[in-house]
Structure 1
Amino acid sequence: MAIIGCGGSGKTTVGRRLADAIGTQITHLDAEFYDDEWNKLPADKFAARQEELVSADTWVIDGNYASTLPIRLRRATHVVFLDLPARTCLWGIAQRRMRYRGGQHTNGVYDRITWSFITYIWGYRREMAPRVRALLAEHGGDAQVHVVTSRRAANRLATELERAART
């Protein structure tokens, strides 16, 4: 399962629920891409790491990273695209900041809020979401693609997918 969407959209929360339901660990692409000092993994190594991750029989990966999204889409059976409003995502990162007080969390998720991150979130639906939709159309294959536009819809979908995974 590939869980994609804007920062603060709830990828980790939905991904964790689905990983638990199918009995696997969730992989956070931020934890694969950045080290403890915010150094980035070279693009070729990042792509190779994702090829390795999706070669497993069962996986849940959360993260956007459009440049390598085709790797995940080619092997995904399900894709959850959290296409939430900017205000909702900004509220999500504010809540995360209050809960964890910044830095890297023990689950590998980074809480680094910069002005460029805020402007990225604000413009995500206008600038990035169309690119994600095009990648889904081009590389999604036979995956079941679920696009949700609210937290309530995301929770309903996660509950439905949890039930389906357990039966």
Structure 2
Amino acid sequence: MKKIAVIGSGGSGKSTFAKALSKKLKIEVYHLDALLWKPGWEPTSKAEQRHIQQQLTPKEQWIIDGNYNGTLDVRLQAADTVVFLDMPRHLCLIRVFKRRWQFRNKQRPDMALECKEKITTDFLKWVWHYPKAKRPNILQKLDALSTEKNIVILNSPRKAQAFLNELS
């Protein structure tokens, strides 16, 4: 495992997991939320998102956490390992609200400058609908890659922790 993509719904624990994985493996982690947002929640274009990721993926080692389904193929093709945090919807929503409370009026360490933590109705809807709207497509992509990549699907915090504990 040298090039690892960590994906999953909002609130699934991608950034926390990626940081722990980085610590275990001594591989630098790149948080797409920090790289693909401009100050004040200004989004980057799809072309810019793709360019940024195409600059990262040739590196010898990396952990990249984030969804950004429009550019997911860049990471999936370059990764040797894909970790899908397939957490239950209710847990993701609880974590979203917990994170909002924890970082109220502050910026998360894994977020772009001047992007204070917030919750929007659109984001909550996206998390709520993720299992039916996004998950099937993700599983289909991962299944297609399963013969050439190490695919890890973790569907509970306990399994995510056990995976981390097993790493040397």
TM, length-normalised to structure 1: 0.89
Cα drift, residue 139 of structure 1: 4.8
Contact map agreement 1:73 1:141 (CA 8 A) in 2:
no
Matched, 1:86 2:92: no
Alpha-carbon RMSD across the aligned residues, in angstroms, is: 1.7
Deviations 1:46-94 (A, max 9, x none): 1011011111100001001111111111111111101111100011112
Tell me how far apart the structure 2 counterparts of residues 120 and 106 of structure 1 sit (CA, whole Å).
Answer: 22
Matched, 1:132 2:138: yes
Bigger helix fraction: 1
1:40 to 38, 43, 51: 43
1:29 corresponds in structure 2 to 32
How many residue pairs were aligned? 162
Assess, with a 3 A threshold, how the Cα gap between structure 1 residues 125 and 68 changes in structure 2: closer, same or farther. same
- 3-state SS of 1:46 partner: helix
Assess, with a 3 A threshold, how the Cα gap between structure 1 residues 139 and 97 changes in structure 2: closer, same or farther. same
Query: Please, which runs of 5 or more residues in structure 1 have no aligned partner?
Result: none
Tell me how far apart the structure 2 counterparts of residues 42 and 103 of structure 1 sit (CA, whole Å).
Answer: 25
Contact map agreement 1:74 1:140 (CA 8 A) in 2:
no
Assess, with a 3 A threshold, how the Cα gap between structure 1 residues 140 and 57 changes in structure 2: closer, same or farther. farther
- 3-state SS of 2:7 partner: strand
Cα drift, residue 24 of structure 1: 2.6
TM, length-normalised to structure 2: 0.89
Contact map agreement 2:11 2:96 (CA 8 A) in 1:
yes
